[in-house]
Structure 1
Amino acid sequence: MILSGVQQAGKPGYPWLVFLHGFSGDCREWQVVGEKLSNYPRLYLDLPGHGGSGNIGVSGFNEMSNMLTRTLLSYNILNFWLIGYSLGGRVAMFHACQQPQGLQGVIVEGGHPGLQDDEERNRRRVSDRRWEQRFRTEPLDKVFADWYQQPVFASLTDTQREALVTLRSQNNGMTLAMMLEATSLAVQPDLRAALSARNFPFEYLYGEHDDKFTALAAELNAVRHAIPNAGHNAHRENPGAVAACLAQILRLR
């Protein structure tokens, strides 16, 4: 199977920008940013269990990476940058470490490179199983009201939080739970060593108010970019600054 996506045309000779959204998002998530990069052909994908790929499931990161390869080939995308936020960033980093043909570079916003010890993994497994059960059994507006109270979203205003709850509650709880299980940090490998040994450009964006991912960024062998006036969801909170940052990165490559 291949993933659903939305294409936007660019100028000849420019590499593709392939955008991957975060958990409970969809192909629309990056489009405000991507439209400011109109020289580049762009592909916005729906990850498994989300949007137009809502009926697609994966068993883990390897299957996800293989599906991404098949999807890009189906669009005849031979030279591309991967740009991913949060879950999409984790998928992008994992896929890049498989050394896919045609990869020009990876840009990650707020994506975790992986947990480093068994105790952390066990805590995450317990937490994610609790969320999975809630997504399967409870009204989504109630689940997301609690989801966006997690510390990583502390910079959101009440208005921003309410808007996200309304938007994300349009999802299918069962398919979200399946994707959360398949791509939990509890089962994601620690990608730090592979990313350090990479042969592709690796750029990392984080909101200046996102303390957790500011600290994680400092652990990575990547070019780091702090996005002003933003928390964890920087491309939503300050799309103009993120678009300008991406444009600068791409001009220099």
Structure 2
Amino acid sequence: MILHAQWRGHHQSSKPVLVWLHGFLGNARDWQAVQSDFVDWPCLSVDLPGHGGSRAQQIDGFPALCQRLSATLQAHQVRRYWLIGYSLGGRIAMYYACRAALAGLCGVVVEAGHPGLSNACERQQRYEADSEWAQRFRCAPLTQTLEAWYQQPLFAELTEKQRQRLIAERAEGYGPELAAMLEATSLSRQPDLLSELRQLSVPLHYLCGEQDNKFKQLAQRCTLPLTLIEAAGHNAHRANPAAFARRLAPMLRQPV
């Protein structure tokens, strides 16, 4: 089985394919504003299980998800590629690069993704928090759950208008399928990848919004190669796509 994916940009280019992985609650369309600056690159935007065109698909963990991503790349005849992932998509990109990558990986760009928890107590706390959220997605009206989700401190920089727009866009999802994906890819189930990331043989870049204090501090603490996006919070590519694209472009041009 392969994941739903959409092509965009210059399909016949000799450049590597840019493979875009969205965050939890998102879909392949989330990257369009940034991709408009990369029309001379082949771009493949993937819908993760439980989301968008892959809404009906379910997986039971990171290994199964990576197998499906590999099958998707093979089905689309992707030979050389960059992985670009936001939040959950960034965590998937890191796991895939460290433990499952097909030959041809040229580099990894992570936007506000967590490399993994090393502390057992933190893992348990995250497990309990994600289980509680999954129950809400599974049982409560989706709009009600989204209202609560976007009130979390991580999204504090959103204006009320921005928050309501996000809720309206995400309300097309289906709660039980989102709950299943949240449980399957919980940070509590992700291994701590930091030491493996430092040994990658391809470039790794880490981006986050300058207002995203949580992930800015995380990147600094983990000594990840951090680039800040001005006038942006946790979802930098949505808040300031022009700045995101401007920072991303030279990363993709570096020799591999």
Which TM class, normalised by the smaller chain length?
over 0.9
Shift of 1:223: 2.4
Question: Secondary structure of 2:206's match?
Answer: strand
What's 1:67 paired with? 68
* TM-score under structure 1 length normalisation: 0.98
Superposition map of 1:1-253 within 5 A: 1-10=1-10, 11-98=12-99, 99-253=101-255
Shift of 1:118: 0.8
Structure 2 distance, partners of 1:95, 1:211, is: 26
The more displaced of 34-43 and 74-83 is 34-43
* TM-score under structure 2 length normalisation: 0.96
Letter in 1 for 2:60: S
Structure 1 distance, partners of 2:227, 2:27, is: 24
Shift of 1:49: 0.5
Question: Secondary structure of 1:186's match?
Answer: helix
- Contact 2:219–2:225 (CA under 8 A) maintained in structure 1: no
Structure 2 distance, partners of 1:74, 1:88, is: 20
Give the aligned length: 253
* 1:174-224 superposed Cα distances (whole Å, 9 cap, x missing partner): 100000000001101011010011111000000000000001111345421
Identity of aligned residues (%): 47
* CA RMSD in angstroms, aligned pairs only: 1.0
- Decide whether aligned partners of structure 1 residues 31 and 249 sit closer, same or farther in structure 2, where only a CA change above 3 A counts: same
Letter in 1 for 2:16: P
* 1:89-113 superposed Cα distances (whole Å, 9 cap, x missing partner): 0000000002431100000001011
Letter in 1 for 2:96: H
Structure 1: gaps of 5 or more residues: none
Structure 1 distance, partners of 2:73, 2:55, is: 18
Structure 2 distance, partners of 1:251, 1:101, is: 19
* 1:25-57 superposed Cα distances (whole Å, 9 cap, x missing partner): 001011110121111100001000101001111
- Contact 2:19–2:82 (CA under 8 A) maintained in structure 1: yes
Structure 2: gaps of 5 or more residues: none
